[in-house]
Amino acid sequence: MKRVFVFLSIALWLHAGLQAQPYSGPRGFDSVHRNEISGFLSGGHNTVTGFFVGEAVHFIHHLNDRWSVGGGEQILFFKQLFSLDAKGIYRLPLGKSDLFFIAHALLNGYNLWNASEIILNASALWESKFVDIRLGLSYIHYWMKQSSYTEPPTLTVGFGVNLKPRTSPWNMGLFIRTYDTYYYENWNINWGLRFYVLLQETLRLFGEFNVRPAGNMSQLANRYETSAKIGVKHVW
C-alpha cells in the first residue's frame, strides 16, 4: 500500500509538466463536452462488515452552462450495499469561483440487515481556486422490518483544500466532511486525500483515500472504516 501511494505521488509529480487541458474542475462545464460519465472501483475495511469491494458509475448531463442533472449507482460486495442516486445542480458563477446549489436524492439498500434508507440532501458548494466549502441539510429516513425512523434534519458540512488551482491538469488535496458519495451522516466526520490527473483531453483519472473514524470530535479514537476509490471520467 505504501509503495503504491509513493509511486502514485511520483507519477503525479512527473505529470505536473503537462499543459493545462481545456476543461476544468470536477463539476465545471466547458461549453463543449455536454456529458460526463465516471466509474470507479472502491474497496476498504469496515469495522462491522470487514473487507468490502465494489463499483460505482455516475452520469452527468449539462443542460447548459448553469444547469446539470445526473444519476448513478453503487454496489459494494461483502457490505451488501446497493445504492441509487439522482442529482440536480445549478451553477452560479461568482467571479473566479463558483457557487453550486445541489439537490441530491439517494436510495440505499443494506441487505445484511434488511434495512433501506432514503436521503434527500440540499446543499450549497462554494468552489474557489484552491478551497471548497459545502454546507447543507439532509432528510434521512430508514426502515427495517416493520419499523421506520426519520432523523431530525442533519447538517452537511464539507471542506476541501487543493495543492494546485482547480484548473490544473492534475491536482491533489485534503478534505474533511460529514458525507461521502452515498451517505450523509450526523457529525460523523470522514477525511482523507483526493487527487485527479488528466490522461487525455477528455479522460481523467481520479481517486480518494478516505478515513472514516467513529464518533465525533470528542470520540475520534478509532478508525471505523478505511477505503480507497480509483476511477476514470470521460467527457464528450
Partner 1 sequence: MRHQSILLYFAIAFFFSCEKVSPIGILVAGTNVEDRVKMSEQFYLDHYKERIWLESDGDYTFIVGSDSHMTTDPGRLDEMLSIGLSSDDLFYAHLGDIVDTKVEYYVRLDSLLQEGKRKYVAAKDLKGEYDDIVFPFFPIVGNHDITRNGWALWSNIFHSSFYEIDVIVRDGERKYYDHLIFLDTASGTLGETQIRLLKEGFLNGKYYYGQGYRYTFVFSHTNIFRPEFNEFASTFCREENFFLLSQFAEWNVTCVFCGHTHHGDERDFNGVHYLTIETMSERSHKNEGDYLVRVRIPASANQDVTYEKVRMKYVPAPASRVSP
Instruction: Find the radius of gyration of the CA atoms of the chain.
Output: 18
Q: Could you give the string, one character per residue 143-172, with x where binding to partner 1 holds by CB under 8 A and - elsewhere?
A: -xxxx-x-xxx---------x--------x
Footprint (CB under 8 A) of partner 1, residues 76-115: 79, 108, 110, 112-115
Contact between 186 and partner 1 by CB under 8 A: the answer reads: yes
Contact between 4 and partner 1 by CB under 8 A: the answer reads: no
Contact between 217 and partner 1 by CB under 8 A: the answer reads: yes
Instruction: Rule CB under 8 A: choose which of 104, 185, 207, 208 binds partner 1.
Output: 185
Question: Min. distance of Cβ 161 from partner 1 in angstroms?
Answer: 9
Q: How far apart are CA 114 and CA 131, in angstroms?
A: 39
Q: Could you give the string, one character per residue 5-34, with x where binding to partner 1 holds by CB under 8 A and - elsewhere?
A: xx--x---x---------------------
Nearer to partner 1, 67 or 187 (CB): 187
- Closest listed residue to residue 57, CA positions, set 236, 231, 235: 231
Q: Which stretch binds partner 1 (CB under 8 A): 28-36, 53-61, 89-97, 190-198?
A: 190-198
Backbone angles phi, psi at 166, to 5 degrees: -70, -10
Contact between 131 and partner 1 by CB under 8 A: the answer reads: no
Beta-carbon contacts of 6 under 8 Å, excluding residues fewer than 6 positions away, are: none
**Residues interacting with partner 1, by CB under 8 A?**
1-2, 5-6, 9, 13, 46-49, 79, 108, 110, 112-115, 117, 142, 144-147, 149, 151-153, 163, 172, 174, 176, 183, 185-188, 191-193, 209, 211-225
